[in-house]
Structure 1
Amino acid sequence: MIDYLLNIDFTPFLLSFKLAFITTLILFILCLPLAWYLSQTKSKLKPFLEALCTMPLVVPPTVLGFYLLWGLSHNSIVGQFFQEQFGISLVFNFYGIIIASCIYSLPFMVQPLQSGFESLNKNMLEASYISGKGKFKTILLIALPNIKPSLLTALIITFAHTVGEFGVVLMIGGSIPNETRVAAIAIYEFVEIMDYKNAHIYSLIMIILSFLTLLCVYIFNNKQKKIGFSK
């Protein structure tokens, strides 16, 4: 059994982790100001923006993947721009699945951060502004340290969700070894060729990783709640 595990091709998992890390980093940078705005604004557009950010949760991955494929292809304005200016094709390569993953995993980063910001004591934020700190310093030095459970949830769940992505990644990237063949796609292909042994091994690894990810989140959040009660 050990010899068999040592012979497993872990490239799809490494590719999945690489995709998840880059996606999580990009989404954190982009969603931090967005989540802050949504938590603080009283604009009438807030429900519209919240619905837009949440749509990837309810839109079927194949539908989202189809329109992303159409919007990023070399026939589209965006696709033509990247092809002409940078010589980069946005479909059937790693760049394309990064864009697709960022859009598909957007709600998993925005919603926990927004909820965390909304739970903050308004007096604490006002005191920060009165002391001369701008919005940027207030977010980094005051807000983020006080929403650690929400922050950790956003980062870990986004990472884990991206690792398990299938439909959108398949539509945009296909299954190119060492390029777009992530773990979920590898499992699908094993099932297609009836290689259930490898499908079981890959699926078991994914289940264990998912469980450990959620376990870490709940352990940390429970510790934070106990600390909060002790205060």
Structure 2
Amino acid sequence: MKKIAVVLVALVFLGSSLAMSSVSRNGTLLADEEKGNLIEKTLHFSQPTIEKKGTYAIVKSIDANNVLRKEGFPFIPSYVETFTLPIGTKISGVEVRASQPKEMDLSEKIIPSSPAVSYNMKASEIKIVESDVYKSDNIYPERAYEWHVGVGIEDGKHVIFLSVQLYPVRYIPAKNELMYTNEMKIKVNYEPPKKPLMQNDVYDLLIISPSEFSDALQALVEHKENHGIKTKLV
């Protein structure tokens, strides 16, 4: 049996980058012959609580497992739900529907996210700086969810990870108003691979990359093939 080398060229991101400190992988898989395959997941969130810190407020959610952290922007709790699918699966679409949002007026502004810790780890005074978003009457974050797809290994198998980051709590800075929802429903439409992507004794090298890089990587595939390395680009 040949050992297959896997090169992950890039991840496919939709929306901003995510900080995935904690995820759960318990989506419900439902098959629909006419509409393809469907994943559905309903999540419930309690009302957030507010903790005062100096002249600012910290928003806390007992249901959150992540945060939206961007220096100078409001520190917002979030939730990441990650689904595992066979490698070669095509994500046709991700939809999230939230229940009617509720309003909460705040007496203090939500604390801005602090700068990243210095690489030398030396203790230093943390200066809190508000970005221009605090003058805006637009809701932050603008979208209630974001998602991205990555490739990895789970239980010794190559798989696709679909991670959906939810924002059940959002903020209107200029009004100092919090908007939160108690329920969010995730719906994922996908197409499973027609045949297993990873097959023994077929390829020596598998290159995984977004389609927009296919032309640029074709030369690498030809180079490897010319040197006797059976290569596949997906």
Question: TM-score per shorter chain, which class?
Answer: under 0.3
TM-score by length of 2: 0.26
Name the one with the larger helix percent.
1
Structure 1 or 2, whichever has the larger Rg, is 2
Structure 1 or 2: larger strand share? 2
